[in-house]
């Protein structure tokens, strides 16, 4: 009885092709999952819309959002955040700076921002506010709420106004991390120059 070597070789070849196709399919699936994870949980690109953050960010600036860091830490005062409010008239991403943290009381009067009755010392260059909006009276933030302002204080729709109001934690997409052109870290922009001691 003769042994069919051709049949055996074809069987090995078919098994090799099946194994390679399977490995190839696994690699494609891994790349798709990695891309999904990066886009939905780590970084995303958006553009600044409007003039409300001028001095720091300008209309059309491309921004990289760090969506990953807030999975482990809470947003901090002065972080520039990207948020999207569901059920509000705007459906696009908003970019503002955190001023008040959960549980705090915020009030704006006499050209100053008060947090729990103490004047807030800011580290960014901003103009004095003309319109204090709802913050002319004390605003008590709930356990999951943040009070935000635009850096262009007199041309910003922010937590001072009912159309935006306080931002809930779940509405925060992430931290505005990088400005792409000209390249810089967002938290390094528009800072008050440090006076050198003579």
**Calpha distance 74→43 (Å, rounded):** 17
Residue 52 annotated to the active site: yes
Q: Which of 11, 12, 16, 52 is catalytic?
A: 52
The pLDDT score that the predictor gives to residue 91 is 64
> pLDDT tens across 77-127, in order?
999 999 998 766 556 799 999 999 999 999 999 999 999 999 999 989 999
> pLDDT tens across 40-78, in order?
678 889 999 999 999 999 999 999 999 988 988 999 999
Q: Which of 96, 156, 159, 175 is catalytic?
A: 96
Flag whether pLDDT at 168 surpasses 70: yes
Give the predicted TM-score (pTM) of the model: 0.80
The pLDDT score that the predictor gives to residue 11 is 81
The pLDDT score that the predictor gives to residue 142 is 97
Residue 96 annotated to the active site: yes
Q: Read out DSSP for the chain? A: ----HHHHHHHHHHHHHHHHHHHHHHHHHHHHHHHHHIIIIIEEEEE--SSTTTTT--TT-EEEEE-SGGGTS---TT-EEEE--TTSS--S-EEEEEEE-TT-EEEEETTEEEETTEE---SB--PPPS--GGGGS-EE--TTEEEEE-SSGGG--STTSTTT-SEEGGGEEEEEEEEETTEEEGGGSSBPPPPPP-
Flag whether pLDDT at 197 surpasses 60: no
The pLDDT score that the predictor gives to residue 10 is 79
Flag whether pLDDT at 1 surpasses 60: no
**Cα Rg of the chain, angstroms:** 26
What does pLDDT average to over the chain? 89
User: What SS3 state is found at 77?
Assistant: coil
């Amino acid at each position: 009885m003769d042994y069919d070597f051709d049949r055996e070789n074809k069987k090995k070849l078919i098994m090799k092709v099946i194994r390679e196709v399977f490995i190839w399919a696994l690699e494609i699936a891994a790349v798709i999952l990695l891309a999904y994870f990066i886009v939905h949980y780590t970084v995303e690109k958006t553009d600044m819309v409007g003039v409300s953050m001028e001095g720091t960010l300008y209309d059309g600036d491309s921004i990289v959002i760090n969506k990953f860091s807030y999975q482990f830490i809470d947003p901090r005062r002065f972080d520039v955040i990207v948020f999207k409010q569901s059920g509000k008239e705007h459906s696009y991403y908003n970019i503002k700076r955190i001023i008040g943290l959960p549980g705090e009381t915020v009030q704006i009067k006499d050209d100053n921002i008060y947090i729990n009755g103490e004047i807030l010392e800011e580290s960014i260059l901003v103009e004095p506010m003309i319109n204090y909006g709802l913050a002319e009276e004390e605003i008590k933030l709930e356990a999951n709420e943040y009070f935000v302002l635009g850096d262009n204080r007199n041309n910003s729709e922010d937590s001072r106004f009912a159309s935006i109001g306080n931002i809930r934690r779940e509405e925060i997409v992430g931290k505005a991390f990088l400005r792409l052109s000209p390249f810089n870290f967002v938290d390094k922009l528009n800072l008050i120059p440090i006076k050198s001691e003579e």
